[in-house]
Amino acid sequence: MDEISNENKRVFLKPPIIKNNNNYPNVIIKNNSEVTNEEFINSDQDNIESEIIGPIREPSLEIVPTAHISDKSVETVRQVIYEKKPEIVAIELDIKRYNGLLDEARGIKREQKFDLKSMLKDSNLIVMLVSSFLSSMQRRMGAEVGVSPGSEMLEAAKIAQEVNADIALIDRDIQITLKRTINGMSFREKLSFGWEILKSYFISEDETEDLKEEIENLKEEDTIVEVMNFFKETSPGGYNALVHERDAYMAYNLKSLEDKNVVAVVGAGHKQGILEYLSDSDTIPPIESISSVKESRFSIIKILLYLIPILFILIFVLAFIQGANIQAGLINYLIFAGGGAFLGSLLSGSKLRSAVVGLLVAPVTVIHPLLAAGWFSGIVEGRARKVGWDDLHELSEFESFKDLWHNKLFRVILVVIGTNLGCTIGFLLTINNVFIPYIHQIFGF
């Protein structure tokens, strides 16, 4: 979605709109009483004095704040849409999540090409893990209170159809949001975030009632402000991408619908931010600045990574010129780097063939900035275990770490991590036992 602007006015382009294709209204007024669409179609319509209930076409905006796993939120959404009869129901979803919720509700599984190689890349792997853990956590919390995650969004879409309203998907792509959130967090914030996710899996049954009350409290303004401020203080980078940018993104989309009668269904934590942006639309950043993930072509870290193999080769060459026995050093390097990857792979539960692949590729990958031994071991492991889409779907549905252990994709991920960790440890041992002695010999200290 691109933004158009000129010298006089900034033009906001509309979000994805799902048109209502109903041929008949679902509710009709008959003698001051309601009859259903089915009753209307099957009746003698010539003898019915009726008034079709259609959308009220008066520009307005009603924001309905919700808790995503709250039965009261579902009821509130239903009541407000019936009451307001909007032209458009805007929901806090992107097209992928919307289709995913619909497929899940209908029990549909889409056949897609499963690209394990792409999935195991560092950035994609982290996003997949975070997404799966968050989905699982939300499912568990929803199960505790008896509400499926996203129920209020599905209800909003359902009632939109009933009142002949179109549906606007106003949220940013979830993959972009997760990548920008992770990129915006410091290493310490990532560790803290991971720890909080892990702790969520140890909610006792005695805490269920307290959890229900806390979820309902999340719609209260004072509680929301307190939670948002805490998040902002503990993870400024994560807060900016996960909350502040999405507030701006959704405000942009709602601004584009200002000539319509709109009911917007969003998480309670977003309402205040959206309203602040809408009160002064000039503060909404250019949409392209928050709707993509920019990969830096050059950075100090990348330069250093590319210098590593050059530095290692240079050390061996200089050591050879100084008369050092580099054959022994090379053997030690191969043993430590390859052996570390081999042991790390086996200890993480891999099959023998995956560990052997890690052993063979580690000496090269450990000094190559764009390769990792774990990728190769993981691909071999994935093929051996015949990993597919079902394993990815189940990864977000686990209830315990025992379930995780029996998930084939998670086992592959463990092999990737274990191989890379073992390779790194072996490489560090090599530095102390091979490269530092060579440096002493080269420079005479």
- Least Cα distance to 150 among 215, 86, 87, 105 occurs for 105
With beta carbons less than 8 A apart as the criterion, state whether 316 and 438 touch: yes
More confident residue, 170 or 25: 170
Q: Mean pLDDT across the stretch 352-364? A: 93
CA distances from 11 to 1, 141, 152, 246, 279 (A): 12, 41, 31, 19, 16
Other beta carbons less than 10 A from residue 104's beta carbon: 15
The encoded tokens of residue 307 equal 């210098």
List the one residue out of 217, 51, 194 whose CA is nearest residue 129: 194
End-to-end Cα spacing for the chain = 61
Tens-place pLDDT, residues 257-269:
999 999 999 988 8
**What's the full length of the chain, in residues?**
445
Question: Of 248, 228, 241, 244, which Cα lies nearest the Cα of 186?
Answer: 241
Distances (CA, A) of 378 to 42, 184, 385: 60, 28, 10
Residue-level pLDDT at 27: 39
The 3-state DSSP class for residue 89 equals strand
279 CB-side CA count, 13 A: 6
| pLDDT (0 to 100) of residue 231 | 64
The mean pLDDT value for 303-311 works out to 70
User: CA 326, 331, 336: angle at the middle one, nearest 5?
Assistant: 125
- Is the separation of the CB atoms in 133 and 197 below 8 Å? yes
Q: Is the pTM of this model over 0.75?
A: no
| Rg of the chain over all Cα atoms, to the nearest angstrom | 28
The mean of the pLDDT values for the chain is 77
pLDDT of residue 25: 41
Instruction: Please tell me which of 2-6, 121-125, 205-209, 307-311 the model is most confident about, judged by mean pLDDT.
Output: 307-311
Strands 60-66 and 50-52: unpaired
12 DSSP assignment: P
pLDDT (0 to 100) of residue 320: 83
Q: How does pLDDT run across 8-60, given as a tens digit for each residue?
A: 567 788 888 888 765 434 433 333 344 444 443 344 444 434 344 567 788 89
Cβ–Cβ < 8 Å for 334, 350: no
Structure confidence by residue, pLDDT tens digits, 373-394: 898 999 999 999 988 777 777 7
74-109: per-residue pLDDT in tens?
A: 899 999 999 999 999 999 999 988 988 888 778 777
Cβ neighbours around 11 below 10 Å, total: 9
Please state, in angstroms and rounded to a whole number, the distance separating the CA atoms of residues 206 and 337: 49
Whether the pLDDT of residue 221 is over 60: the answer is: no
Residues 91 and 158: their CA atoms lie apart, in Å, by 12
User: Cβ contacts of residue 128 below 8 Å, gap of 6+?
Assistant: 119, 392, 395
Q: Which of 150-164, 166-180, 200-214 has the lowest mean pLDDT?
A: 200-214
Identify the burial level of 4 via C-beta atoms within 10 angstroms of its C-beta, where 0-12 means exposed, 13-18 middle and 19 or more buried.
Answer: exposed
Nearest-angstrom CA–CA distance, 176 and 173: 5
Residue 164 · residue 82 · CB < 8 Å: no
Mean pLDDT, residues 274-292 taken together: 93
Summarised one tens digit per residue, pLDDT across range 188-211 is: 877 777 676 666 555 544 554 454
Q: What is the pLDDT of residue 310?
A: 77
| Alpha-carbon span 405 to 408, nearest angstrom | 8
The percent of residues in the chain predicted with pLDDT above 70, rounded, is: 68
Asked which of 221-225, 298-302, 341-345, 361-365 is least confident by mean pLDDT, the reply is 221-225
Lowest mean pLDDT among 105-109, 247-251, 315-319: 105-109
Residue 166 amino acid letter? D
Q: What is the pLDDT of residue 325?
A: 79
Taking only the tens place, the pLDDT of each residue in 426-435 is: 888 888 777 7
